[in-house]
Structure 1
Amino acid sequence: MYSESDIDAAVAAGAITPDAAASLRGHVASLRGAPAVDEEQFRLLTGFNDIFVSIACLLLLAAVAGIGGAIAAVLAPAAVAGTAWGLAEYFTRRRRMALPSIILLLAFVGGVAGTLGVALANDTIGNWIKSLSSDQNVQIGVAALLAALVAAATAGAAWLHWRRFMVPITVAAGAVAVVGVAMALIVGLIPPARNAVLPLVLVSGVAMFAFAMRWDMSDRERRTRRSDVAFWLHLAAAPMIAHALFNMLGVFRDQIGLVQAVVVLALYMAFALVALAVDRRALLVSSLAYVLFALYTLFQQAGALELSAAFTGLVIGSALLLLSAFWHAARRYVVALLGGVIAQRLPPVQMLPA
């Protein structure tokens, strides 16, 4: 399986002509019944060898973590980070294997975060924090600042990995770490903000969504690595927005009422419009659990106690399948409503050849 960036690389290398690449894209689009820009492609597997290598990498990383942890707790994540970087030099930089690259990136940044986290989460640091002041707010603030330090180091590690290997998910990992830095600093320096974590998460999610759109708008045709970067950023932003927003509405906290359920369904429809406009499905997937619960509650309140789960699956499953089947037509309608200025910044609505 080849991605859009692979085809562009082949054109740049002279392996195929630009006309041949355009013909290939048109042929694949006609077979799929949708233009390539609407397929939201990203590379996860280049072949079954990706799965084989990924399993081997996970086994090796688990082994070095166990050996390092037997020597000292801090060596377990440090060994994982070092091993992941070394493996990436071959499987990512030379072989360009998709799934192993993702696993090794997550192992590296997680190892860096874990190393600092374990180093700071010890009795010496805890006693030092307690010795600074007996005020609990001060203690929480210092702990939050240390957490910000760990998140900042993680963001720096992600930046170094990006500079070396250019794995698309790296930008999302770094962005999440930056959000962690901001959240920790705000919570540490502004005590009242500790009671407003969900709004902060929502604002962070919206900011990451805007960052994802910046990458998306730089590659409207979705033919380069920038589109893959935007995909992972959207995938990181969506759960922040959905989780914060629906939890602020009290979903899952108690038995929601009719009004709350209707609001959840209305928000999901709004998410669908946004997803159609930007041609990204992450928001719909991230908020799916909440709308399933809301619709399930509505069916229960209507008296369908035994079949409420079945009816919920039937309605939502059918709606999502219909949306998928008519995605391109629905996009064309939504983008037309937004007007020319906004449409020029969104992925183009392409007409299929007859």
Structure 2
Amino acid sequence: MYSQDEINSAVSAGVLAPEAADKLRAHVVSIRERPVTDEEHFRFVSSFNDIFVSIGVVILLFAVAAIGQAIGTAAFAVDPNDFGGNSRFVRQESAEIMFGAALAAATAWLLAEFFTRKRRMALPSIILLLAFVAGLLFTSLGLAATIAGPDNIGSGSGYLIAAFASGSGLIAAGGAWLHWRRFGVPITIAAGAGALAIFAIMLVVSVLASATSLNGDTLILPLVFLSGMAIFMLAMRWDMSDRERQTRRSDVAFWLHLLAAPMIAHPLFHWLGVTDGQDIGVGAAAGALAVYVAMGLVALAIDRRALLVSALAYVLVTLASLFDRFGAVELNVALTALVIGSALLTLSAFWTPIRRVVVEQLPATMRSRLPAAGVPLTA
């Protein structure tokens, strides 16, 4: 199986003529009876060797992280009989996190030089990128906690912890940018955007929590929602630069949508009371279903399924509560699965014609920015 990016590379190298590449894409479209844009391609595994290498990568990263933790333990050795050294114990734990994460991040970068830069292996590249960015995040968090110590953190209350998290997010975002410049893995932009979201959210929380009487917990969800919307707009920017979805930009947009979707969905359904763990009223259930339908229309318009998938669990809970409320106690789970499963399979089978109907209702200027759906651009 060859990705669009690899086909484009073959064209650029002169191995494959542009006309032959276009005919190949048209042939695939005719076989599948749907536009290539509707397939939402992205490379995850190209062979079983990807899985084989990924298992080895995970084991090796686990090993070096454990070695790093042992180094941190040795560097901040604590006498087990020193019951008054609680501060020392906390510093030791922070040092373990710092050294373990730092070694894992360094190892992930070195492995990426071979498996990503030379071999271009998809799944190992994703794992190595995530390990590198997460390693930077926890390294900076562990370093800050080790330097500050538990006493200073405690006296600074929650806003100082939020400030540490904010700085760590910025460092992780910078590392993601360097990784993108070196290796160009599509998921890197999403990882960097997530790190920047952590930076922005924790920065606002640390500033407002220290300057006002606002509770940081009440700020988190609105900030997560706004960050999700910002990442969604960034994803659309990448999507609009590749309407035919034939380059790596489409893969970048895919991962950004996958990140933005839960950040948008969770606050919305939380505010509707779906996540409270209590019985959902009819009004709240109707609101939740209306939100899901709206997300479905957006997903059809932009030709991305991430919104539908991310909100699926909330809709399952909502429908199960409704069936339970109206007396179908024993069958509420089965009926919920039947309704949702049938709806998703129907939508998948008729995605292209349904999407065409939705896109036809949009203004021509908006249609010209969305993935092609066989709809004329004239009003």
Band of TM-score, shorter chain: over 0.9
**Kept in 2: contact 1:206–1:237 (CA 8 A):** yes
Pairwise CA distance, 1:214: 0.4
Q: Structure 1 residues 158 and 123 mapped into 2: Cα distance closer, same or farther (>3 Å)?
A: closer
Q: Alpha-carbon deviations, 1:175-231, whole Å to 9, x = none?
A: 011111110111011122622321111111111100100000011111111000000
Is the partner of 2:330 in helix, strand or coil? Answer: coil
CA–CA distance in structure 2, aligned partners of residues 48 and 120 of structure 1: 41
Give the alignment of 1:91-102 within 5 angstroms: 91-102=115-126
Higher relative contact order (CA 8 A, sep 6+): 1
2:20 partner amino acid: A
Deviation >4 Å, runs of 4+:
none
2:26 partner amino acid: G
**Kept in 2: contact 1:144–1:187 (CA 8 A):** yes
CA–CA distance in structure 2, aligned partners of residues 170 and 152 of structure 1: 14
Pairwise CA distance, 1:116: 1.3
CA–CA distance in structure 1, aligned partners of residues 165 and 294 of structure 2: 35
CA–CA distance in structure 2, aligned partners of residues 331 and 169 of structure 1: 26
Pairwise CA distance, 1:258: 0.9
Q: Structure 1 residues 38 and 303 mapped into 2: Cα distance closer, same or farther (>3 Å)?
A: same
- Work out whether 1:17 is the aligned partner of 2:17: yes
Pairwise CA distance, 1:123: 7.9
**Kept in 2: contact 1:92–1:101 (CA 8 A):** yes
TM-score by length of 1: 0.95
1:225 partner amino acid: R
**Kept in 2: contact 1:81–1:109 (CA 8 A):** yes
- Work out whether 1:204 is the aligned partner of 2:227: yes
CA–CA distance in structure 1, aligned partners of residues 164 and 62 of structure 2: 27
**Kept in 2: contact 1:154–1:174 (CA 8 A):** yes
**Kept in 1: contact 2:8–2:247 (CA 8 A):** yes
2:137 partner amino acid: A
Q: What corresponds to 2:41 in structure 1?
A: 41
Q: What corresponds to 1:125 in structure 2?
A: 149
CA–CA distance in structure 1, aligned partners of residues 137 and 275 of structure 2: 31
CA–CA distance in structure 1, aligned partners of residues 232 and 258 of structure 2: 9
CA–CA distance in structure 2, aligned partners of residues 197 and 252 of structure 1: 15
**Kept in 2: contact 1:215–1:227 (CA 8 A):** yes
Pairwise CA distance, 1:117: 1.4
Is the partner of 2:228 in helix, strand or coil? Answer: helix
Q: What corresponds to 1:134 in structure 2?
A: none
Is the partner of 1:220 in helix, strand or coil? Answer: coil
**Kept in 2: contact 1:186–1:193 (CA 8 A):** no
**Kept in 2: contact 1:242–1:287 (CA 8 A):** yes
Pairwise CA distance, 1:122: 3.7
Match of 1:166 among 184, 204, 208: 184
1:203 partner amino acid: L
Pairwise CA distance, 1:261: 0.8
CA–CA distance in structure 2, aligned partners of residues 52 and 233 of structure 1: 27
Q: Alpha-carbon deviations, 1:133-172, whole Å to 9, x = none?
A: xxxxx53222211111111000001001001000000000
Is the partner of 1:187 in helix, strand or coil? Answer: helix
1:64 partner amino acid: V
2:139 partner amino acid: T
Q: What corresponds to 1:182 in structure 2?
A: 200
Match of 1:148 among 166, 172, 194: 166
Is the partner of 2:361 in helix, strand or coil? Answer: helix
Pairwise CA distance, 1:120: 2.1
Q: What corresponds to 1:270 in structure 2?
A: 294
CA–CA distance in structure 2, aligned partners of residues 124 and 259 of structure 1: 49
**Kept in 2: contact 1:198–1:248 (CA 8 A):** no
CA–CA distance in structure 1, aligned partners of residues 112 and 147 of structure 2: 35
Pairwise CA distance, 1:127: 1.8
Is the partner of 1:196 in helix, strand or coil? Answer: helix
Q: Alpha-carbon deviations, 1:9-59, whole Å to 9, x = none?
A: 111111111111111111111111211111000000111110000001111
Pairwise CA distance, 1:86: 0.3
Match of 2:303 among 266, 279, 289: 279
CA–CA distance in structure 2, aligned partners of residues 66 and 162 of structure 1: 27
Q: What corresponds to 2:331 in structure 1?
A: 307
Query: Percent of counterpart pairs with the same letter?
Result: 56
Give the alignment of 1:1-354 within 5 angstroms: 1-72=1-72, 73=96, 74-122=98-146, 124-130=148-154, 139-191=157-209, 192=214, 194=216, 195-253=218-276, 254-350=278-374
